[in-house]
A and B are shown apart, each in its own frame.
Chain A
């Protein structure tokens, strides 16, 4: 039984890592700019499609028709030559194999630009507007992003293979000195968890230990006073929007081997992430992370056969059930600050 519980716990951490990463970005935007950003899921999806695009470029081929030979199905034989391998040899093959991690390098500047462009181009005009209008405009942005991706990449999921060396499962039981082959877990899911932990720690360290972060935190607490000190807080908040987009984009890239991305990916995660933010407390970064992992773990345990035998279908509703209870018992969320989103 211990093995079952431990595996479900790992599963929960894995799910929670994705929820926490998206919720972290959402909370960053809300905490700094005061904007409820319904386009945040779309940023996750755009990150995933950065990985798709990079792989498309890396796997480009030249196709020549050999009229002298026929394929087994009767059409002229197509001879395909991978371009990147032809240009870069073994290094090209490594790049193709590691296309997902490699995509992170390309995704960071792209998502930073996308974030800054969104904030400067559209969202800044809605700072002083009611939350309902912010939700409408960001939701509209999400739909536009979705439709653009659908028109370019089509409606169906595009699988992204993980590097061959990172496929398969890690024997965690043996690593912990237990019987071998009892607690095994997919290597890439463990990598995703570690990646999330590093990104979350990086964001917290950036806000906690840099002057830039200190100013941003001060701005989050009292925007007006920081402005009166002669600091251009708007510019810093714009960078924070870009940073939130980068976090969402990186989360999307690393998730592609686990879930083939399609245009709807962002919406699938958005609703859950908002629940996570509400449970964690609007505007609370530690709350978002804690709630992400907590809900991931709860969802994982709720899907155990033994639990479902008692309450059928509980795995489908557990997250929303917790949100309802939290909102009834502690309306500002687990770690929410007094006065945030409260009239």
Chain B
């Protein structure tokens, strides 16, 4: 009673007691939240964990899909401790141990997306519902990426996008469960325009041919804005169907349009066909407005350059990565891929490989496969050693911010793979941008949806 009169009232005792109960009972749960929230979509209970590879093995972007498949198989081998370890040896910081992910061996299932968004979505659904994929990755078209990451958000499965370059992927269509390592059309514009200005001058008239889907639209918008800021005039922007094969009807109007630059907002086989046919129409031998006619391909890959052959010589574009970069990460990956497959990797292969490793590393750091925790581990994560210099997985839009390459078709290649030269490496500060400019909403991570 004496004690009580000193201020230790019954109410005080009750308050202290409750605080004690909360302190000792509930607070530790904050640190073990993943442990009690293990009921989530495709929680791996056996000794394996399954990746779902959604790859365009046929269709316009089939070359990229085939190279992505090789890269994923290599990444999975390295994650399981097989082969030379590849980029596991240079990723910093890294929680990867080379014993799978969280002690579980990585296996995979795959699906041919046919470079079609609806097929990609159906394939991803099948891999999640039937095959128990914990994570979906791959794709070489922004249409596919946007369709699949929307699905993954609904089903509570993380999507690590493959090659997708539309601003919309991490812009207006961004999703909490979707992550992109590849750069985007806006960054291509920022990186490429100054080089175009230096090489072709500021008084140019551009004609755009654009693949008629999300990537083409944002690519056209971005490169138009960047070149118009230089002083270039846009003569016309004409949309072409994705997968078009004969571009003659689109090319003939250019010849007498008053344009002196043709900008091909095409990718994959579309670009190989349109560039080759533009050259067949004599565009690179023409003069217009007293200047040499030029062709520009804002996004280009070594696979496309190889397919276009002679036509690509001297053509400017941008790339996410190139195998002849001389940093330790690029050397390690090129060596590892070359030893396995006898050819250097493409930028599609690189981004696919890196995405697989980054997901695995995030799981290891989170200590769980529980998607909201893995998302937290990826958001704002800064890493190095993967061939693009210091890279930030930006939390606001899930876009990797890293350096961008301006490349040019090699005039004198020494091999069939030596088709592009890196002209300039644009640092990440230059190509960074305010994530709010493209709008969109990531949506919630929790409660994690449960797939059926």
Contacts and interface: CB of A to CB of B under 8 A. Distances in A.
Contacts of A161: 309
Interface string A159-194: 101000001110100000000011011111100000
B289 interface: no
Given A73-B344, A304-B253, A159 B335 contact: no
B277 A186 contact: yes
A3 B255 contact: yes
A184 B252 CA distance: 9
B249 A259 contact: no
Interface stretch (A6-14, A83-91, A284-292): A6-14
Given A72-B324, A73-B337, A4 B252 contact: yes
Nearest to B343: A73
A134 interface: no
A341 to B, nearest CB: 30
B58 A156 contact: yes
A184 to B, nearest CB: 4
A186 B252 contact: no
Interface in A1-46: 3-4, 7-8, 10-11, 14-15
B334 interface: yes
Contact of B248 (A14, A72, A78, A184): A14
Interface stretch (B87-95, B156-164, B280-288): B280-288
A315 B249 contact: yes
Contact of B252 (A8, A71, A159): A8
A72 B342 CA distance: 11
A42 to B, nearest CB: 18
B281 A169 contact: yes
A231 interface: no
B249 A186 contact: no
Nearest to A183: B255
Given A169-B282, A259-B245, A305 B252 contact: no
B282 A168 contact: yes
Given A7-B252, A73-B334, A73-B337, A168 B309 contact: no
B287 A74 contact: no
A299 B272 CA distance: 23
B269 A157 contact: yes
Contact of A184 (B241, B282, B337, B418): B282
Nearest to A257: B280
A264 B246 CA distance: 15
B249 A168 contact: no
A295 to B, nearest CB: 13
Nearest to A4: B256
A61 to B, nearest CB: 12
Contacts of B342: 75, 78
A161 B343 CA distance: 22
A155 B62 contact: yes
Interface string A205-236: 00000000000000000000000000000000
A146 interface: no
Contact of A74 (B62, B63, B282, B334): B334
A144 interface: no
B323 to A, nearest CB: 6
A292 to B, nearest CB: 15
Contact of A305 (B238, B246, B248, B334): B238
Contacts of B256: 3-4, 7, 182
Contacts of B339: 74-75
A4 to B, nearest CB: 5
B62 A189 contact: no
Given A159-B307, A161-B309, A75 B252 contact: no
B250 interface: yes
Residue with the highest number of chain B CB atoms closer than 10 Å, among A3, A73, A258: A73
Nearest to B272: A159
A273 interface: no
A168 B285 contact: yes
B282 A71 contact: no
A156 B310 CA distance: 21
A7 B334 CA distance: 46
A73 B238 CA distance: 39
A158 to B, nearest CB: 11
Contact of A72 (B336, B337, B344): B344
Given A155-B57, A304-B253, A168 B338 contact: no
A300 interface: yes
A97 interface: no
Contacts of B343: 73, 75
Residue with the highest number of chain A CB atoms closer than 10 Å, among B250, B252, B343: B252
Given A7-B255, A74-B339, A186-B280, A181 B287 contact: yes
Nearest to B236: A305
Nearest to A169: B282
Contacts of B285: 168-169
B217 interface: no
A73 B280 CA distance: 33
A46 B213 CA distance: 32
Interface in A285-343: 299-300, 303-305, 315-316
A189 B269 contact: no
Interface of A: 3-4, 7-8, 10-11, 14-15, 71-75, 78, 155-157, 159, 161, 167-169, 171, 181-182, 184-189, 258-260, 268, 299-300, 303-305, 315-316
28 contacts: A3-B255, A3-B256, A8-B252, A11-B249, A73-B344, A74-B334, A74-B335, A74-B338, A75-B342, A155-B62, A168-B280, A169-B280, A169-B281, A169-B282, A181-B287, A182-B256, A184-B255, A186-B248, A186-B277, A186-B280, A186-B281, A258-B277, A259-B246, A300-B248, A300-B249, A304-B253, A305-B236, A315-B249
Given A3-B255, A3-B256, A259-B273, 15 more contacts: A7-B252, A8-B252, A11-B248, A15-B248, A72-B324, A72-B334, A75-B343, A156-B58, A167-B279, A184-B281, A186-B248, A186-B280, A186-B281, A260-B273, A305-B253
Closest 10 CB pairs of A and B: A73-B338, A169-B282, A74-B335, A303-B249, A73-B344, A186-B280, A7-B252, A155-B58, A74-B338, A184-B282
